[in-house]
């Protein structure tokens, strides 16, 4: 089974990394030269708040890279409630929880991600993996099959479905999805050779 890595450096993106490090322009900056001084102040306050969120996300990311999960979670918990439910924060939280193998907690985060951003692949692929690790492989398969159609272009989607099918004894379905994953990314064949979930289709590999 493959758990696609949550690349924490990519969660914010280069533009956000740069924005989080810059200073907030003063009210005398041309951005704020406007007749509506009250509006300008509100814009500046919003910028300050946004940058505060980005700094917290960067701090959490740094703790993750230093293998300090408790500190990372503490940073994420300090976010405003609405920002905790947005994708960047959920991605980081999920990364920490999955590394500690807390599958039910991770599954809850995946459900929140699917609710907030149903078009994002993470909530489906990682959610299915959590179900599989909890011994609920049939539910894992069902979740992936119900995922948005654009996931069919992801090799991990087909690979994991192949694993679930193999575990459930659906060998023809397993071969179908494994073939699709190998065609999308050849490295998955090498991964499959070492995967205990695929013992039942070892002759196919």
3-state secondary structure of 100: coil
The Cα 183–Cα 32 span in angstroms is: 54
pLDDT in tens, 151-177: 999 999 999 999 999 999 999 999 999
Position of tokens 């069902």? Answer: 142
What would you report as the CA-atom Rg of the chain, rounded to the nearest whole angstrom?
21
The answer to whether residues 155 and 188 touch, using CB atoms and an 8 Å cutoff, is yes
pLDDT in tens, 42-68: 444 444 355 577 888 888 888 888 888
pLDDT in tens, 94-140: 889 988 899 999 999 999 889 888 888 889 999 999 999 999 999 99
The answer to whether residues 177 and 165 touch, using CB atoms and an 8 Å cutoff, is yes
What is the pTM for the complete model shown? Answer: 0.70
- Give domain 107-205's CATH architecture: Alpha Horseshoe (1.25)
Q: Give first-to-last CA distance, the chain, whole Å.
A: 15
Domain ranges of the chain: 1-100, 107-205
Judged against a pLDDT cut of 70, whether residue 17 lies above it is answered with: no
Position of tokens 């990364």? Answer: 95
Structure tokens at 12: 């914010």
């Amino acid at each position: 089974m493959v758990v696609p890595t949550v690349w924490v450096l990519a969660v914010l993106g280069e533009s956000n990394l740069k924005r989080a490090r810059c200073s907030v322009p003063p009210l005398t900056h041309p951005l704020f030269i406007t007749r509506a001084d009250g509006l300008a102040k509100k814009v500046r306050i919003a910028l300050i708040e946004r940058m505060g969120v980005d700094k917290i996300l960067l701090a959490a990311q740094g703790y993750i890279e230093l293998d300090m999960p408790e500190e990372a979670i503490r940073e994420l918990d300090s976010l405003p409630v609405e920002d905790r439910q947005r994708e960047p924060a959920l991605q980081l939280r999920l990364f920490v929880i999955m590394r500690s193998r807390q599958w039910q907690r991770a599954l809850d985060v995946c459900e929140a991600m699917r609710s907030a951003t149903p078009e994002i692949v993470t909530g489906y692929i990682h959610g299915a993996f959590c179900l599989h690790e909890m011994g609920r492989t049939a539910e894992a398969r069902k979740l992936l099959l119900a995922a948005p159609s654009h996931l069919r272009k992801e090799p991990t989607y087909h690979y994991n479905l192949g694993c679930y099918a193999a575990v459930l004894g659906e060998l023809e379905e397993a071969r179908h999805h494994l073939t699709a994953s190998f065609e999308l990314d050849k490295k998955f064949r090498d991964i499959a050779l070492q995967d205990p979930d695929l013992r039942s289709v070892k002759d196919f590999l």
